[in-house]
Structure 1
């Protein structure tokens, strides 16, 4: 996965086009680099799974 693909996935998540992003262990460091620079990063939370995979979802507004 490229930085551009990750950016597109984060924007799609932020806009509500997708409900979650699944990031594999091998992609995590690149994802983290892109995610840390994204303006909506505080509205996205990650949930660690087995094997080092992470699922990112938008925070629900209460």
Structure 2
């Protein structure tokens, strides 16, 4: 069963379930409280570096 954006995560037929967007926001807030804002900086930096590597590999014609 696929979960679509804006649909209820709780598919049991009851109303008032949490949307995927709400669940993501709640999870992000929890991670922020547990790990702090520096964690998001670190993973953002790592993601940016990986994207840069993939772009350069594509320009060179490399696979990875």
Give TM-score scaled by structure 2 length.
0.25
Rg larger for: 2
**Structure ranking higher in strand proportion:** 1
Between the two structures, name the one with larger relative contact order (CA 8 Å, sep ≥ 6): 1
